[in-house]
Amino acid sequence: MFEGYAGTSASGFRAEVEAEEAIARGEQLGDLITGHGHHQLAGPAAAEAEARLIEFGRHVTLHGKIITDPRRLKRIMDRHDPSIYPGEYVTCVYTPDRALCHRRDGADGPCLPDCQPLACRNVALTSANIAALTRHQAHLGQALQGPGVLAPYVRHRLGEQRAEITAFLATHGQPPPGQA
């Protein structure tokens, strides 16, 4: 829909939306830095995310305060984008050669609809991501506990998904020792 209505026009709407998304992402990353959440990341790409956020923090902090002016933040994101994409269930630390998702339009960055968070090595987890995965895991458990209203195939797939999330959280669901 986005491509059909706005992506092909000369109005610049697509570029404006992408700029707003970059600013919002910069603000989220700034919050992660000021809250020292980057020291509590877990997952396969946690160390890479922490290193990138420390480097990014050098550019977005001025005398201990995060830059919140949208224009300045946009310039900083254009120059020093750490390629970290916070999400509800995972935080993507995008490294193209490890990514399981690639954008079809050739632009840099992940293709979030094609995200495979339980298999990708670009995944880092914040405490909010772990909580969201745990809630989803519990929701799947409740759906599977209910009466037999689910079709056998659906029940099987939900069971597999719950088992995958359980295994993923068992492996990556805790911050590294000494950083809790």
Give pLDDT, residue 119.
92
For 120-144, what is each residue's pLDDT tens digit?
A: 999 999 988 999 999 999 999 999 9
147/63 Cα distance (integer angstroms): 59
What are the sequence ranges of the domains in the chain?
2-172
Residues 6+ apart with CB under 8 A from 64: none
Of 6-10, 31-35, 103-107, minimum mean pLDDT range: 6-10
The pLDDT mean for the chain works out to: 80
Give pLDDT, residue 67.
64
96/87 Cα distance (integer angstroms): 18
| Average pLDDT of the segment spanning 48-69 | 76
Is residue 61 a contact partner of residue 76, using CB atoms and an 8 Å limit?
Answer: no
Task: For residue 73, give Cα distances in angstroms to 34, 63, 67, 68, 85.
Answer: 15, 16, 6, 6, 16
Indicate the pTM of the whole model.
Answer: 0.77
SS3 93: strand
| Average pLDDT of the segment spanning 36-47 | 79
Judge whether residue 147 has pLDDT over 70.
yes
**Cα 83-57-133 angle, rounded to 5 deg:** 55
Judge whether residue 64 has pLDDT over 90.
no
